[in-house]
Structure 1
Amino acid sequence: MSHWSELVADKKRRQLESIPQEWLISTPPENVLDVTGYAETCGLLTFQEIQITNTSVDVLLGKLASGEWSSVAVTTAFYKRAIIAHQLVNCLTEIFVERALARAAELDEHLKKTGHVVGPLHGLPISLKDQLSIKGLETTMGYVSWIGKYAEKNAVLVDILIECGAVPFVRTNVPQTLMASLWPETFNNIFGRTTNPYNRLLTCGGSSGGEGALVALKGSPLGIGSDIGGSVRIPSAFCGLYGLRPSYGRIPYSGALNSLEGQDSVLSVFGPMTRSLGGLKTFTKAVIEAKPWLKDPLAVRKKWDEEEYKLADHGYGKKLCFAIMWNDGVVIPHPPITRSLELVKAALIKAGHTVIDWQPLKHRALGDMTREIWNAASAEDYKVTTSVTGEPIITSMMIAPGPAVNAPFRPSKDGISAYQLWQVQKKRRDLRQEYTDLWEATVLETGTGRPIDAIICPAAPYAAPPHGLNRYTNYTTVWNALDYPACVFPVSTVDPAVDVKKPAHSFVDAFDKSIYDLYDPETFKNAPVCLQLVGRTLEEEAVIGMTELVATALTH
């Protein structure tokens, strides 16, 4: 077998050749950090293509259904903008222009002949994280050892998207191993590093970082990421997007590649990432109404519940009670995060809702248990995969050598026994019961006659940090451990004039102090600030509905 570096060189060559040469642009110098506006000034996009790529998912679907915009035109516009995005932040893996445009042409012909759309996502280009298998394409998932492995069939979710009328058109970059809680950033030995469009010195997050950067640059109207410890929500938060982490089994996973396969205690889930909140509902409803449980044995048999979306169990959206978690008792958030929580609290009170404080229950233990479960055999999992080519396992996300920075989750050389794993899983089960009891007990505080409707909390203790310094994922990982659906939503951006560094607080421990020391307002300048809204297991419809309610309150 060729040396792993030769396999990488060949893959990169083939990727470059897949880009239409007329779509290559003159890129800005490295010292231009914010590239969010570059696509519209570089000269590649027409006026209509700029208009198309600035349009929200729901409006796009309306224009596609009416025939005002063809799928070929919409797919071409987003494809060109995706290629621009790739040249700016290195976000793509698989590029298959002819195949996608042929699919778009078929959809246009169907609409022309029948007058009807193929499905609820008719003509919509959708980008996919590089683990969703597409027949005939490689899915490397950041592993050199998987170069040359061509999928024999689509993942179930891809089949459903096609059935719904969507146009899969690119796949996006991920970290080696895919485990966001190992390195919640996006870098691998094949495609390299993906950077943040708002500031290319900052990380876009991971593991769905390619999706986050692409959607932020309007190179895709809607992307699909996956989330086992925050992999949808962290990139969404760092790139200023809406992103949904559903409960286990609500969105089908069968046929997709993954790390730690066979570990079925804390599962990875697929979820949408988009700039328009309506896109979350459109995607989730379309996939669920396709009855994924008939194609994936692990998919939950639960139909889309429109009454739940209208918040039937939450007073139909009138006078809700939200709990704000200001910190998790382990790491105190940076000033922009706290300011955003205060903004949301004020907006909700102004809108007539009640806000109380949430006291986190054993969040450190929940995070530690989750990592113990993953750690049981992760070192062997990565070793088996990389041994095929001998590629090195990445040990740092830093751009340049510097002081050692420990990963938040590093594969152990020695896993625990099956019996020990069972004990950890039992503790997690018991903590889930404790959390349920705590949530129910809030009925005594809310004044609504029911427990709190949702928790609002940080998605990370900071905005997007410099590369290699995203070291803490518990603000997302605990909800994976509890299997609570959570939706990230944008609130603000870091403003050095407002978000000044606060005097040192009473530190929880040395790690909390290291996060405090990381904050410098100028370093984080202009970075998006997002929060997340957390609901209860399998309550995706209500989580989307309540996030819409919060977003509306913030704009009034």
Structure 2
Amino acid sequence: MPSWTQLVAEKQQRQLKSIPQDWLVSPPPDSTLDVTGFPETCGLLGAREIEITNTSMDILLEKLASGEWTSVDVTTAFYKRAIIAHQLVNCLTEIFVDRALARAAELDDYLKRTGKVVGPLHGLPISLKDQLCMKGLETTMGYVSWIGQYAEKNAVLVDILLECGAVPFVRTNIPQTLMWGETFNYIFGRTTNPHNRTLTPGGSSGGEGALIALKGSPLGVGSDIGGSIRGPSAFCGLYGLRPSYGRIPYCGAVNSLEGQDSILSVFGPMTNSIGGVKVFMKAVVNAKPWLKDPLAVRKKWDEDEYNLVDHGSGKSLCFGIMWDDGLVVPHPPIRRALEMTKAALEQAGHKVVDWKPIKHGLIGDVTRNIFNAGAAEDFMIVTSATGEPIISTMDLDSPDPIVPPIRPRSGGITAYQLWQVQKLRRDTRKEYLDHWEATASETGTGRPVDAIICPAAPYTAYPHGKGMYSTYTTVWNGLDYPAAIFPVTTVDPVLDAKGSPREFYDDVDKTIHEMYDPETFKNAPVCLQLVGRTLEEEAVIKMTEIVDEALAAAKPEPYPPLLQRLRAVLRL
């Protein structure tokens, strides 16, 4: 056996020993696909622990701040649920129960002695993607070659979360190299989707997505360079935010493609409510991260922006709906979610116009060319320390696996060629800005479109290895636009019957159309993406709240089941 496999075996044993033995359960058989209800029926969680882990973020923080619930009790409840989640979908990497509970006890003691909270996140357990270094812990990021490398200090974001009173309590699984839309590595294995374990939770923040979907964490931190927050959030039915570059500090975290600073990876929140997104962003940016990270943007939380002062104070917004990107048409459940969202917003008194995408193919290609300029060499140098293979596919059984274009097989481009690609990206960003500004002539508000609503992918969570298209998220990384994910519905095989043959944009569009089978995708969450302008995170959060409220309040059409079934029959 190659020597690297021994390193893996030893690391896996250490992870297993870090789990309290009395927290082990008997998971359901593999044939049980939807395991979201298992944590509350397995017998490990008591009634109060179930109540705690089902409590909304605002109430949770209120009870922690008042001392009604201790941080030790809250952290224990979420830790137990996280361990259950791990046994169901394999979502964790680093498990450090004693350390987290000791931190929680310190916070409880401080509150008891002073009557004050440490900060806005006082006592709140927070899960972290396996990039965020914590002093004394390994951060492998899915590389066997990084086993045994212990952090000498915390990442800046970890220090800020501690200052805000949070309790980091687990780290979550990722793919080797991070540059995948799925989650698998040789150390910790494959993470699956709790809504349907034959499907992926996405990547590269797939461990976070799966954990939070099972309510094993109230709030998690993912990262996103091409959709790695938004994909898992969408596929797991969560809320998530990809902020603009520098809004959340990255200093001190590990990463792939370090030194590539044209299109930067960003950290952002993943959670079960849009309120949780706001809580995280407000806490972190008000901690003045620019004093600890030289690349952090000097911008505190802007309450005027959150109140949409530049968007008519949110009274009569105009949203642009992008039905497809001119390259790949989304599957029927995505189309239905777009229709539901448009109807809900119009019922709420807002205007919705069609968004005409421009140059999304070019922006996607430019973005991938920048990533791939030195990626193959980067991966090779890291893995050469142990000789671990570089993962080339996430497919489980296909003789002709699909390898996404974001995965370079070899080579790259010259420095001069890279400059030309970066120049093209710069010029295209200006074209897109002008395109957005020009929509003022059609909104009727005197303003350009306030935000874009679009798919996060042309499909929902898919079988492992079958994803091949990332442009619906990657394009906004290339433009550096903040984007939030919000849930709308779930796949219904009756309502979301496969559409009839149509004219395809190209072979990729045809392949993605043909991969859709309603039964395969049954029960998968259907989420959409709301996109704003660079560094407009507060407005994006507020507008996502408005969309969320509109969907919750939407009046159904008369006899919707009958009408929907009729539509489904007509599609056949």
Task: Give the structure-1-normalised TM-score.
Answer: 0.99
Q: Which one-letter code corresponds to 2:46 in the other structure?
A: T
Aligned to 2:493: 496
Q: Mean Cα displacement is larger for which, 401-410 or 526-535?
A: 401-410
Is the 1:375–1:412 Cα contact (8 Å) retained in structure 2? no
- Which of 267, 271, 276 is the aligned partner of 1:270? 267
Q: CA deviation at 1:2?
A: 7.9
2:122 equivalent to 1:122: yes
2:540 equivalent to 1:543: yes
Aligned to 2:563: none
- Residues 171-193 of structure 1: CA distance to partner in whole angstroms, max 9, x if unpaired? 000000011xxx30000010000
Q: How does 1:292-307 map to 2 (within 5 A)?
A: 292-307=289-304
Q: How does 1:174-193 map to 2 (within 5 A)?
A: 174-179=174-179, 183-193=180-190
Is the 1:198–1:527 Cα contact (8 Å) retained in structure 2? yes
Aligned to 1:240: 237
Counterpart CA distance in 2 for 1:363 and 1:352 is: 30
Where 2:32 maps in the other structure, the secondary structure is coil
Aligned to 1:454: 451
Counterpart CA distance in 2 for 1:327 and 1:194 is: 29
2:45 equivalent to 1:48: no
- Which of 506, 509, 514 is the aligned partner of 2:506? 509
- Residues 408-433 of structure 1: CA distance to partner in whole angstroms, max 9, x if unpaired? 32214221111100000000000000
- Which of 520, 524, 527 is the aligned partner of 1:523? 520
2:209 equivalent to 1:198: no
Counterpart CA distance in 2 for 1:333 and 1:220 is: 31
Counterpart CA distance in 1 for 2:143 and 2:411 is: 23
- Residues 334-374 of structure 1: CA distance to partner in whole angstroms, max 9, x if unpaired? 00000000000000011111100011110000000001001
Aligned to 2:478: 481
Counterpart CA distance in 1 for 2:409 and 2:6 is: 29
Runs of 4+ aligned residues of structure 1 deviating over 4 Å after TM superposition are: none
Counterpart CA distance in 2 for 1:428 and 1:338 is: 29
Counterpart CA distance in 2 for 1:408 and 1:38 is: 37
Counterpart CA distance in 2 for 1:150 and 1:485 is: 33
Counterpart CA distance in 2 for 1:19 and 1:478 is: 40
- Residues 90-129 of structure 1: CA distance to partner in whole angstroms, max 9, x if unpaired? 0000000000000000000000000000000000000000
Structure 1 residue runs without a partner (length 5+)? none
Q: How does 1:239-258 map to 2 (within 5 A)?
A: 239-258=236-255
Q: How does 1:349-498 map to 2 (within 5 A)?
A: 349-498=346-495
Counterpart CA distance in 2 for 1:25 and 1:246 is: 38
Is the 2:308–2:542 Cα contact (8 Å) retained in structure 1? yes
Where 2:51 maps in the other structure, the secondary structure is helix
Counterpart CA distance in 2 for 1:166 and 1:303 is: 20
Aligned to 2:322: 325
Is the 1:129–1:208 Cα contact (8 Å) retained in structure 2? yes
Where 1:196 maps in the other structure, the secondary structure is coil
Counterpart CA distance in 2 for 1:534 and 1:404 is: 32
Where 2:177 maps in the other structure, the secondary structure is coil
Q: CA deviation at 1:401?
A: 4.2
Is the 2:368–2:405 Cα contact (8 Å) retained in structure 1? no
Is the 2:63–2:69 Cα contact (8 Å) retained in structure 1? yes
Where 1:203 maps in the other structure, the secondary structure is coil
Q: Mean Cα displacement is larger for which, 412-421 or 116-125?
A: 412-421
Q: How does 1:54-69 map to 2 (within 5 A)?
A: 54-69=54-69
Is the 1:319–1:354 Cα contact (8 Å) retained in structure 2? yes
Counterpart CA distance in 2 for 1:66 and 1:414 is: 58
Counterpart CA distance in 1 for 2:501 and 2:2 is: 53
Counterpart CA distance in 2 for 1:278 and 1:166 is: 16
Where 1:322 maps in the other structure, the secondary structure is strand
Counterpart CA distance in 2 for 1:190 and 1:457 is: 35
Structure 2 residue runs without a partner (length 5+)? 554-572
Counterpart CA distance in 2 for 1:480 and 1:259 is: 16
Q: CA deviation at 1:403?
A: 2.6
Is the 1:156–1:255 Cα contact (8 Å) retained in structure 2? yes
Aligned to 1:102: 102
Aligned to 2:551: 554
Q: CA deviation at 1:504?
A: 1.3
Aligned to 2:18: 18
Q: Which one-letter code corresponds to 2:447 in the other structure?
A: R
Where 2:269 maps in the other structure, the secondary structure is strand
Aligned to 1:261: 258
Counterpart CA distance in 1 for 2:327 and 2:289 is: 38
Counterpart CA distance in 2 for 1:406 and 1:103 is: 43
Aligned to 2:169: 169
Aligned to 2:561: none
Where 1:171 maps in the other structure, the secondary structure is strand
Is the 1:75–1:101 Cα contact (8 Å) retained in structure 2? yes
Task: Give the structure-2-normalised TM-score.
Answer: 0.96
Q: CA deviation at 1:404?
A: 2.7
Q: CA deviation at 1:406?
A: 2.7
Counterpart CA distance in 2 for 1:113 and 1:426 is: 57
Counterpart CA distance in 1 for 2:297 and 2:437 is: 24
Counterpart CA distance in 2 for 1:52 and 1:365 is: 47
What is the number of residues matched between the two proteins? 553
- Residues 302-321 of structure 1: CA distance to partner in whole angstroms, max 9, x if unpaired? 11101111111111111100
Q: How does 1:79-90 map to 2 (within 5 A)?
A: 79-90=79-90
Aligned to 2:142: 142
Q: Which one-letter code corresponds to 2:101 in the other structure?
A: L
Aligned to 2:337: 340
Counterpart CA distance in 1 for 2:313 and 2:67 is: 35
Q: Which one-letter code corresponds to 2:266 in the other structure?
A: V
Q: CA RMSD in A?
A: 0.9
